[in-house]
Amino acid sequence: MSRKPVIAGNWKMFKTVPDALTFVQDIRKTAVGTDHIEVVLCPPFTAVTLMSEGLRGSGIYLGAQDVFWEDKGAFTGEVSPVMLKDAGCGYVIIGHSERRQYFGETDEKVNQKVKAVLGHGLTPIMCVGETLDEREAGVTKKVVRIQTTSGLAGLAPEQAAGMVIAYEPVWAIGTGRTASDEDAQEVIAYIRGIIQEQFGAEAAGNVRILYGGSVKPENTTGLMSKSDIDGALVGGASLEVDSFTEIIKRTSETKR
Ligand code: PGA
């Protein structure tokens, strides 16, 4: 089963519109190939529309960092899947640990968002992962199982197959501490097993599962040489064109 690798950059709350457009100009000057790999940039909402124009014809996709589940209505401050699609997004990050930690995102909300996004033909990048306390207490798999099954509850097998899931151990995000290649592979294979139980072998074979948490050029090849790791969700190292394109290059070389 061959799964197309995904490298997604999560810019979080960084870059003004001019900064974002400079990045787009600069990445277009590099010869980074997008034939064997899906490259996605997830800027703040304010930069989405202009980046969509700037990326046209580049082969690089655009994603958002969050979404609300209703199409429209009196929901001050929220952005709907319809609006994201209209603005040029193909992907949406859902359930990032920072949203779970600071903005009250529960598994139920994640599930509502996943369903809404799929309903509009966008691809969710659903994040799961344990905290340091949970890892030390030995409950990583339990936590990841609950987040995965609740987040995907009620989906059809074809919908599950089209998902992107990002395994991001919370203790590895922005800390410079990466999970070892083996630990990341083990948890990601476990998540694939959950998809198999819940949705069958075909969905498990097709779903793309990424690793995230302090991914940088130097640790890319080791992580990507693991058979169940289908790419990366990159925070800090996606903010600079050089490090981001190096991660893309090393991933496509390793996964070829
Ligand atoms: P990091 O962030 O690469 O800066 O650790 C990853 C993420 O939060 O998606």
40 three-state secondary structure: strand
- At 1, is the pLDDT very low, low, confident or very high (cuts 50, 70, 90)? low
Catalytic, 120? Answer: no
User: Does residue 213 line the site of ligand 1, with CB under 6 A?
Assistant: yes
6-254: CATH number: 3.20.20.70
* DSSP conformation class of 178: P
- Distances from the Cα of 101 to the Cα of 39, 88, 121, 156, 227, angstroms: 27, 28, 28, 29, 30
pLDDT value for 216? 97
Number of helices (H), then strands (E), in the chain: 12, 8
Distance of alpha carbon 173 from alpha carbon 98, whole angstroms: 10
Which residue owns the Cα nearest ligand 1 atom 2?
A: 235
DSSP 79-138: --HHHHHHTT--EEEES-HHHHHHS---HHHHHHHHHHHHHTTPEEEEEE---HHHHHTT
User: Does residue 174 line the site of ligand 1, with CB under 6 A?
Assistant: yes
What percent of the chain has a predicted confidence (pLDDT) above 70? 100
The tens digit of pLDDT for each residue in 219-234 reads 999 999 999 999 999 9
Question: Of 4, 5, 60, whose CA–CA distance to 27 is shortest?
Answer: 60
The region of weakest confidence among 15-24, 173-182, 184-193, 201-210 is: 173-182
8 three-state secondary structure: strand
For residue 238, the tally of other CB atoms under 10 A from its CB is: 26
Does the structure show a pLDDT above 90 at 156? yes
44 burial class (0-12, 13-18, 19+ CB within 10 angstroms)? middle
For a pocket test of ligand 1, which of 14, 40, 125, 215 has the largest count of ligand atoms closer than 8 A to its C-beta? 215
Structural contact between residues 12 and 235, judged by C-beta atoms closer than 8 angstroms: yes
Does the structure show a pLDDT above 90 at 97? yes
User: Does residue 234 line the site of ligand 1, with CB under 6 A?
Assistant: yes
49 burial class (0-12, 13-18, 19+ CB within 10 angstroms)? middle
For a pocket test of ligand 1, which of 6, 7, 10, 14 has the largest count of ligand atoms closer than 8 A to its C-beta? 10
Distance of alpha carbon 202 from alpha carbon 28, whole angstroms: 36
Distance 214 CA to ligand 1 centre (A): 6
Catalytic, 105? Answer: no
pLDDT value for 34? 78
Helix (H) or strand (E) holding 233: strand 231-234
pLDDT value for 35? 85
Question: Of 12, 43, 44, 4, whose CA–CA distance to 27 is shortest?
Answer: 43
The tens digit of pLDDT for each residue in 37-67 reads 999 999 999 999 999 999 999 999 999 999 9
Structural contact between residues 50 and 21, judged by C-beta atoms closer than 8 angstroms: yes
Q: Which of 98, 105, 168, 246 is catalytic?
A: 168
Q: Which of 38, 96, 105, 130 is catalytic?
A: 96
Does the structure show a pLDDT above 60 at 200? yes
